[in-house]
A and B are shown apart, each in its own frame.
Chain A
């Protein structure tokens, strides 16, 4: 983004380290998300503890990045692109941490689920999970490549996430209507669905922060929202 490096080498190294740590945090979050989704779909109760524990690594990275940002602010008084990188990194790491937390919450919900989860319940949920994972992968790629177009694309796809969320929740609601004794299971599934949607929101936040980092301006207009489901 900015051809020649900083005259002061240590400044250059600090910014590079910030970048690397964020990329690492992104990877970790990505795998957490994938693991959590897989655990839900397969109702794999053994993997839950591992997922919960791994969240600690993401939080640790967040701490490290916070510290690095504080140091850069006080040492370097960053200007222009450096300033935007610093601010955006802070915001993105916050969003990644939240995504990690959401993944952990999703995983924790696997334990109370019945092993024989019917497929029709999880169809849309699976599609939602795939979409959100793809969003996450895309936004991390966009960050690596500092791609403005990709950021906008991801930002727009939030609409799809909303639509799929509504679809999934509809499915659960429909299932519940048929068989009222599965209220507990339905609640858990709804919870999981909501969490994934919120993860999607955070990913959209990341896309916005990325756009600001690149362009120095905020994405205009309201976030495209999907149509709310009509209650029956």
Chain B
């Protein structure tokens, strides 16, 4: 088990999540290392999305969802009532399965986050933030001449990169990605994977994916979820070349019933 010996960015302990009476996650203990890509794989409905939504407290918006257990970000507990979720979400950004840019201009899409957090003192500073975010998301060259056009006028792949740029605009430390490429064509997917490769140098990334090949390509550590439990978590190479658990192997080789 060759784990990166870097510091742990996110640590969950005995994490249990319930939707009303139904339990969705059972005793999840998972460490996410910093400046690394961790992939979460598993069949549909196994709890991967529920898990990452705990990290930025997005499950709060679902009334019947109850989250018990400890989630620590940089050693600080975030699953507590007194934690300010607005500040948390500045640190932990999210990219969704279907690109969802605001129905505003490209510029305004990126500028929204910094505006509400009061990050930019003047327009020049804001312009800088917008440009940097778009550059980090490898979108600047394609849109620099049309920042005032609506975000929805871009292609699917560009929209997703816009959403990534938007997440980057508030300078997060962690980026959560929930199947970010499932709605995109292979070329757009390749561009996003290239972007993830680049981003992991500066950000901690957790990506939920249905594509085994994608998990192998982009991640350093992989966790296999099944029916709300973690079956195996290890370096990506180990999981895909020689996993310990039979269930893991059955899933990744397509032998699941």
Contacts and interface: CB of A to CB of B under 8 A. Distances in A.
B241 interface: yes
A80 B240 contact: yes
B256 A7 contact: yes
B212 A83 contact: no
Q: What are the 9 closest A-B residue pairs judged by CB atoms, nearest first? A: A216-B242, A79-B252, A80-B249, A4-B255, A82-B253, A79-B240, A6-B254, A7-B254, A77-B213
Contacts of B257: 4, 7
11 contacts: A2-B253, A3-B250, A4-B255, A4-B257, A6-B253, A6-B255, A7-B254, A7-B256, A79-B216, A80-B241, A80-B252
Among A5, A8, A80, the one with the most B-chain Cβ atoms within 10 Å of its Cβ is A80
Contacts of A157: none
A4 B246 CA distance: 11
Contacts of A4: 250, 255, 257
A83 to B, nearest CB: 6
A217 interface: yes
B114 interface: no
Tier of interface size on chain A: 10 to 19
Contact of A79 (B246, B253, B256): B253
A83 B243 CA distance: 12
A84 interface: yes
A87 B172 CA distance: 42
Nearest to B240: A79
A77 B246 CA distance: 19
B124 to A, nearest CB: 48
Interface residues of B, number: 17
Interface of A: 2-8, 11, 77-84, 215-217
Interface string B224-243: 00000000000000001111
Nearest to A80: B249
A80 B255 contact: no
Given A77-B213, A81-B249, A7 B240 contact: no
Contacts of A2: 246, 249-250, 253, 255
Contact of A3 (B213, B241, B243, B246): B246
A84 B255 CA distance: 16
A147 B256 CA distance: 25
Contacts of A11: 254
Contact of B253 (A81, A215, A216): A81
B94 to A, nearest CB: 28
A3 to B, nearest CB: 7
